[in-house]
Amino acid sequence: MLLPNGMRPTWAKINLENLAFNFHSVKDFVGKDLMYMAVVKADAYGHSAFKCAQKLEEAGVDCFGVALPEEGLELRNNGIKKPIICLGGFWSGQENLLLEKDLSPVIYSLEMAKRINHFAKKKRILANIHLKIDTGMGRIGVRFEDVKDFIGCFKKFKNLHLAGLMTHFAAAENLKQNDFTNTQIRRFYEALEIFEINGFHPFYKDLANSPGAIVHTNSRGNMVRLGGVLYGLSGDILPNEVKKPVLRPVMSLFTRIAYLKKVPKGETLGYGRTFKTKRNSEIATIPIGYHDGYNRLLSNCGRVIINGVFAPVVGRISMDWTTVDVTDVPKVKVKDEVVLIGEQGKLNIRVEELAQLTDTISYEVTCGINNRVIKICK
């Protein structure tokens, strides 16, 4: 990959064709008679939100999910026309932004409803909102047992249109907790029935996240929210025991060798002197570190691919640099390409591998690849 002159040679490649493939693959698997929300919050899980949204809009998604109105504004400013739902609601002072940019907030309190209704009334418009029911996740949302009381007060807000009702699963990926997931589904539909009895008929009935959509057929409602699976992240969020759609990785991460040095047997490397050479070694220094999202917990246990072979990370990863033992790498030289996530020849390093080594999930790995890393979307 050729980067502009003067740029640090550390970059992520975002494969937009694989992104579109994943959407169609999941849609074929889950069903074509449903609506699909593409979740592009957190910069599309680190994959470049507006570029991914442009590709997914072209591919036919029905709407987009973001966390913050600011994220929705970025999409609108880059030409996205499809509905945008702000899953995290909004903060006081953002009401006009929502209404002017046609962003639909998820609300979860009467105070939020009151504020958005006030501004909608001033503009003489009907504002689309989605309401979140807390069926067991325990974060935000109207508690399922409080729905009747909520509706009694909600009815007075005449400038709000309840476009959608939603919830969020706590453990849809864990088959051992199916009973709890089914309890959440039951609570949601009981809440929906109460709304309908009271004259509200939300168009969007939205329960399922990625594992819910694929694993729990009774959770699909009429719209599902696709997050990690769009980006090919499934190894640690979908159970191994179930059938699943074919997915392709979207992000690859690369850098180049900046410096090579000979290090005698018995010398230590890096902060804390956590690695000692067991032989006369050749050590490569590569320009990526934990500030770029290459986790410090990969120190002395991670690996990269150089010239068709795996090479171990040695010593403690620092903020800007990582050292790699390239003693066994053939014909190694400065500027050789280094694969940190992705494939080279028959070798492959998946995001899930890094997640397992750092005791986290693949979502956190890709979200951590920050804007100091050039992202090339194509």
- Which active-site residues does the annotation give? 41, 271
User: CA of 186: how far to CAs of 165, 256, 322, in Å?
Assistant: 14, 53, 50
**Cα–chain-centroid distance for residue 166?**
19
- What does residue 339 show for φ and ψ, rounded to 5 degrees? -100, 120
| Residue 288 three-state SS | coil
What gap in Å lies between CA 374 and CA 378, rounded to an integer?
13
Decide the pairing of beta strands 259-263 and 281-286.
antiparallel
- For 241-257, give one letter per residue: b (16+ CB within 10 A) or e: eeebbebebbbbbbbbb
What gap in Å lies between CA 378 and CA 356, rounded to an integer?
28
What gap in Å lies between CA 314 and CA 275, rounded to an integer?
6
